[in-house]
Structures are given as C-alpha cells and as structure tokens.
Amino acid sequence: MTSPKLYLEDLVPGQIFESGSHTLTAEEIVEFAGRFDPQFFHLDHEAAKASLFGGLAASGWHVASTTMRLMVQSSVIAGGLIGAGAEIAWPRPTRPGDTLRVITEIVEVTPSRSRPERGMVLVRSKTLNQLDEIVQTMASRMVVPRRTPAETAP
Amino acid sequence: MTSPKLYLEDLVPGQIFESGSHTLTAEEIVEFAGRFDPQFFHLDHEAAKASLFGGLAASGWHVASTTMRLMVQSSVIAGGLIGAGAEIAWPRPTRPGDTLRVITEIVEVTPSRSRPERGMVLVRSKTLNQLDEIVQTMASRMVVPRRTPAETAP
C-alpha cells in the first residue's frame, strides 16, 4: 500500500471508505462452518432447505471475518484496525457465490482524555452483496493513534 | 448428543450453560489472521511486541468464532443456534496457549407476536481464559422454535 496513513487528526465524521470485494464460494462456507459453526444449515445444501434459511447460508461469523479482511485490506488507518468492541447484525443470509464488499463511515472521533497519544473512533460499516442488499451492519469502536500527542494539562 | 433438546418453553431467565474448552495455539492464531485479519500484531511474535497488544494476540473475530464453536458443540437448543445479531467486546487480548471456555446465561425469553412457532431469546455469554479472566463478552439475540405453536388470536 502506498497511500499515506491516516491518524486521528485526519479523520472526520462523514468520511467514507470502500473496500474491494470477495466472492464466498460454497466450499469456503462449508469449510469455515466445519471449523467454527458446525450446524447443518451452514454445512449441507439439501438439509439446509428445511431450515429457517431455506438453503445453505454462511455463518454470520464467516461474514464478519470476511468483512474484517476486506476492511483490513483497504484500510489506510495508521496503527491498523484495533477494535475494542462491535455491535453486529445480519439482516439477510449470505449465500454461496455472493460477492461481498464493505462501505465504512466515520461516525465519531474522540481524543482520549487519559492517553494523549491516541483516541477512539466510532465507525459504521455495511457489508453488501452483489445486489447491493445489506447482509451485515456493524458499529465498532476502534483505537486510533494521533499523529502528534495532544497537549496535556500541566 | 443424547441430551433432550430445549425449546422456547423450556428456557427461563437465569439458566446457565457451560461449554467445553479449546486451547488456541500460536499456529491457529497466525493461520486465522492470515486469512481474515492480516495485521502484524496477529501474525508476528516479534513485531507484535511493539504494538498496543505488547505481543502476539488472536484476532477478536477468531475469539468470536471459537466462542461460537464452543457454544454450538455444547448447545442443547432445538433448531440450532441462529443469531440475528450480537453486541461483542474484547476487554483483554487472547494469547497463544490460552484455553477458552464459554459460560452462557439466558437473559430474556420473548415469544414472537407474529410467528406462533417461534420466539427470540437474549443470551449473554462470557468467554474466559484458563485464569478465569474475561476475554470476550457477548449479548446475542437468537431465534428459538416453540415445542407447541402458540395460540393465535382468531
């Protein structure tokens, strides 16, 4: 990556970042589920038809992990993407062959009171499929370093 | 699994479920990060020392996915564990060699008003390491089937 890195001072609410894309294959969906979420609706096409999903669907944690990869690969935030926590929802299943991409918006930038060298940033991301349908929403709090440490009270 | 399955009617606030355990090796941490969270503090022991984590740490999504596996393997909920969303936090890093287990509590059981055959259950889970330190907290909303469909208004 040759883009200049962004520090806390460079981020403002409303800024939007867009990731590249990744297509989830049936093989990837089944392999991830076998390791981390071994339930029949993530593992077996035929059996999944009788489930709430009506067919094979990716584990939500697979969608979240793929979202993370797309965000990391496209990120220009200095210090990396370090999340303290997240609120996540999966309004619709992700299917084999779906091509996912992530749109992330900076919502809030808060310099730390106790740590002059960093701050917290609230971001909202939407993970979309190839039909622009939202398959995941996430609000996450991230630790971002300052370019120049803040002046502290004497 | 030979345990009887639990339906919505069988769940009450305060019930507690405990999972088995899993030890995350350095190899697993690095392999997961290479695929889903390729940042130096999840990939490289030496380089990670200079990071906020002070040493190699598992991706939060790896901790979440491992938590899911432990919950699925020990679950006796009918219909499987189907999450609509979750609120997640990682108060402390997970290190190579940490042995994780999950304690889950039923917080709220809400029959669906529009779907007589199911309801929503709010659960809180804590993922603990071998020192009983909390490495992840999660509140999640799950869809759980009823044993007997509710009576609906005529």
- A40-59 average pLDDT score: 94
Q: Kindly state whether A69 is in contact with chain B, defined as any CB-CB distance less than 8 angstroms.
A: yes
| Selected residue with higher pLDDT from B80 and A108 | A108
Task: Answer yes or no: is pLDDT of B153 > 70.
Answer: no
Interface ipTM: 0.92
Percent of chain A topping pLDDT 90: 81
Give the number of A-B residue pairs with CB atoms closer than 8 Å: 89
Could you read off the pLDDT of B14-61 as tens digits, one per residue? Answer: 999 999 999 999 999 999 999 999 999 999 999 999 988 999 999 999
Q: What is the largest CA-CA distance in chain A?
A: 68
- List the alpha helices (DSSP H) in chain B: 26-36, 40-43, 45-48, 60-74
Percent of chain B topping pLDDT 90: 81
The Cα–Cα gap between B150 and B147 comes to 9
- On average, the pLDDT of chain A sits at 93
- A116-141 average pLDDT score: 96
pLDDT at A149: 78
Here the tokens at position B12 are 């009450």
Query: Within a 10 A sphere around the Cβ of A60, how many other Cβ atoms?
Result: 26
pLDDT at A40: 94
Out of A39, A68, A84, closest to residue B72 by CB:
A39
pTM of the model: 0.93
pLDDT band at A1 (very low <50, low <70, confident <90, very high): very low
Determine the distance in angstroms separating the CA of B109 from the nearest CA of chain A, rounded to an integer. Answer: 19
Chain A, nearest residue to B57 by Cα = A82
| Selected residue with higher pLDDT from A22 and B77 | A22
B65·A38 Cβ contact <8 A: no
Question: Helices B60-74 and A60-74 sit at what angle, rounded to 10 degrees?
Answer: 170
Percent of chain B topping pLDDT 70: 95
pLDDT at A2: 55
Determine the distance in angstroms separating the CA of A72 from the nearest CA of chain B, rounded to an integer. Answer: 7
Query: Within a 10 A sphere around the Cβ of A15, how many other Cβ atoms?
Result: 15
Task: Answer yes or no: is pLDDT of B66 > 60.
Answer: yes
Task: Answer yes or no: is pLDDT of B90 > 60.
Answer: yes
Task: Answer yes or no: is pLDDT of B62 > 80.
Answer: yes
Determine the distance in angstroms separating the CA of A150 from the nearest CA of chain B, rounded to an integer. Answer: 18
Instruction: Give first-to-last CA distance, chain A, whole Å.
Output: 39
Architecture of domain B8-145 in CATH? Roll (3.10)
pLDDT at A10: 95
Task: Identify whether the C-beta of residue B146 lies closer than 8 Å to the C-beta of residue B8.
Answer: yes
Task: Answer yes or no: is pLDDT of B149 > 90.
Answer: no
pLDDT band at A148 (very low <50, low <70, confident <90, very high): confident
| Selected residue with higher pLDDT from A4 and B5 | B5
Here the tokens at position B42 are 């999840």
Out of A41, A81, A86, closest to residue B88 by CB:
A86
Q: Kindly state whether B38 is in contact with chain A, defined as any CB-CB distance less than 8 angstroms.
A: yes
| Alpha-carbon separation of residue A111 from A12, A144, B41, B89 (angstroms) | 12, 9, 23, 20
Q: Kindly state whether B52 is in contact with chain A, defined as any CB-CB distance less than 8 angstroms.
A: yes
Could you read off the pLDDT of A82-119 as tens digits, one per residue? Answer: 888 999 999 999 999 999 999 999 999 999 999 989 99
Which residues on chain A are in Cβ contact (under 8 Å) with B68? 36-37, 59, 61
